[in-house]
Amino acid sequence: MILKAKHHFIVYPFFKRYAVWKIKKCFHDVKIIGEYKQSDQAILLLSNHISWWDGFWAMYLNVKVFHKKFHFMMLEDQLRKHWFFNYTGGFSINKKHKSILETLAYTSELLSDSNNMILVYPQGEIQTMHNQTLIFEKGLERISMQSNHPIQIVFMANLVDYFSNPKPSIYMYIKTLNAQQIKPNELQSEYATFYQNCIQNQKTLNNNQ
């Protein structure tokens, strides 16, 4: 049985405020690069997974841009260890257990509510942001296939640079897709192209510093 997301009336609002405060404290600047138009559709946010910060960055993006109810998929053993994340929208996945099907069905169920946003790391584990070949784990295509409601798929790529500042800046690249206009088996190749473009843009920023 999976651990379903909860939004504690104290813990969840605190985490939203804490995420924004923590990022402002630890980073020189936050750049959100890309466009997003508010819609009445739920969001499936697919992001690279490069650090401990990833969930904070996604929450920051949600607070500043999406304004949705935040959910995120987390490995079951880690969610049980860091149980408080369950009260901020975290729900479990166990890739080595048949409950993975329940998790995928639950994710699709969450996407039926237009007020929700679900964060998923398709890589399944933390990897260096310098890895330019991102391999998606199996199962992601089931989420969009099982959803009976129109949803938005948003690609997110987080890149970090210092340039001439003592603190790093975080560059959040986003791209919005219509889930009905993309085949599930094309998600990995589409994200790969998006990620390469983000890296090229970051190199351009470096040249202009």
180 token code pair: 């009905």
CATH number of 11-207: 3.40.1130.10
**Predicted confidence (pLDDT) at residue 138 exceeds the cutoff of 70:** yes
Of the chain, the percentage scoring pLDDT greater than 70 comes to 95
> Is residue 34 over pLDDT 80?
yes
Of the candidates 9, 3, 2, the one whose C-alpha atom is nearest the C-alpha of residue 88 is: 9
Q: Measured on CA atoms in the order 208, 174, 25, 64, is the torsion positive or negative?
A: positive
Tens digit of pLDDT for each residue in 117-136? 999 999 888 888 888 778 88
Number of other residues whose CB lies within 10 A of the CB of residue 186: 11
Average pLDDT over residues 139-160: 82
Tokens for 127? 């990897």
Provide the pLDDT confidence category of residue 209 given band limits of 50, 70 and 90: low
Give the chain's mean pLDDT.
90
Tens digits of residue pLDDT in 52-100: 999 999 999 999 999 999 999 999 999 999 999 999 999 999 877 788 8
pLDDT at 120: 94
The DSSP-derived string for 171-204 is EEEEEEEEGGGS-GGGHHHHHHHHHHHHHHHHHH
Domain locations in the chain as residue ranges? 11-207
Per-residue pLDDT at 133? 77
Task: Tell me the whole-structure pTM to 2 decimals.
Answer: 0.93
Residue 5 has pLDDT above 80, yes or no: yes
Strand ranges inside 89-205, DSSP E: 90-93, 116-120, 151-161, 169-178
Residues 6+ apart with CB under 8 A from 205: 161, 171
pLDDT of 146 > 70? The answer is no
Range in 31-40, 102-111, 143-152 the model is least confident about: 143-152
